[in-house]
Structure formats: C-alpha cells, structure tokens
Structure 1
Amino acid sequence: MLEKRKWLLLTFYTTAGVMALERTCTQAGLPGRIVPVPRSITADCGMAWRCEPSLRQQVVPLADPNEVMGIYELEI
C-alpha cells in the first residue's frame, strides 16, 4: 500500500476552472496534476488541482478566484 503524503488541493466550481489552472501552471513550469476530489471534501465539478504544498504561494495566485471553491492541505 502506498504511503500517504501531504498535498495542496484546489477544488473548483467547474471543469473549465481546473483545466485553466492546469494550462497556466504548465506554462509557468509548475508541477501538478488534475485528480478526482477525495471523499473527505466536496467540489461541484468533482476534480481538483493537486501539487506540493510548498508551491502554494506560486499556484494559488494563478487560479481564477471566481472558480476556486476551496483550498486544502490534506494527507492522501
């Protein structure tokens, strides 16, 4: 079984919002990926952007604040 790690998760109201952040992060050279939202939290579109917590100060400003539903640091 895989060991749990702490991740930064941004959840979104729409799929377009998470895909826009993926595109922006890729262009900026910031690693991360789209993942299903864990059961412990909810999001309207069911997808989240996952990256290292150390990237919080770089990633959060790139996300559209009207699209972000929540920002979490979770062990998953």
Structure 2
Amino acid sequence: MRKFAVIAFDTTTDAIILEKYFKNNNISGRLIPIPEIISAGCGLAWKSESDDIENLKKILHEGNLKWELIELVEFKGDTK
C-alpha cells in the first residue's frame, strides 16, 4: 500500500480553482471524492501523486490557494 497526499477543501469552488492551478503548473494528481477517513468540507479532495506534504503546502501558499487540510492517506491496491 502506498500513501498519497490528499488535500481537502471547504468549497467545491476552492477544489476547482486548485485543480486548474495544478494542471496549468504541471502538478500531478486528480480530484477524487473525499476519502471516508477524512471529515472535511465539500466532498472533494485532491489526490496528489506526491507524498511530500511540505512541498505541497509551499505550492499552495505560493498559489494563494484555499484548502482545509492536507494529510497522507493510504490507498489499498491503488498506485495512482
């Protein structure tokens, strides 16, 4: 099993803005339904291909992006 950084949002708008920013800046990942172990905002989360939370926080701050929480989540049988 592999851990991925997951970013949760207060609003769907925040999730879509982040998705657009990350895609425009070639930051890999995708929007997913929020994993059950996280209780947060809008029901969407960004699943990063990276597990480097500190670097992702830096990118979030540089992009002035809104987010509720970021944490590592283990996904069974998932490599992407």
Q: TM-score, normalised by structure 2?
A: 0.77
- Structure 1 counterpart of 2:14: 17
1:54 deviation in Å? 3.4
Which residue pairs with 1:72 in the alignment?
71
Q: What's the CA shift for 1:30?
A: 1.0
Q: TM-score if structure 1 supplies the norm length?
A: 0.80
Equivalences for residues 56-67 of structure 1 within 5 A? 56-58=54-56, 59-61=59-61, 62=63, 64=65, 67=66
Q: 8 Å contact 1:7–1:53 — kept in the other structure?
A: yes
Match of 1:35 among 22, 32, 35: 32
Aligned residues: CA RMSD: 1.7
Residue of structure 1 equivalent to 2:44: 47
Which residue identity lines up with residue 50 of structure 1 in the other structure? K
Deviation readout 1:1-29 (Å, 9 max, x if unpaired)? xxx32100110000010110110011101
Are the counterparts in 2 of residues 21 and 63 from structure 1 also a CA contact under 8 Å? Answer: no
Aligned amino acid, residue 74 of structure 2: E
- Contact 1:15-1:47 within 8 A present in 2 as well: yes
Which residue is equivalent to 2:23?
26
Task: Structure 1 unaligned segments of length 5 or more: list them.
Answer: none
Contact 2:5–2:72 (Cα < 8 Å) also in 1: yes
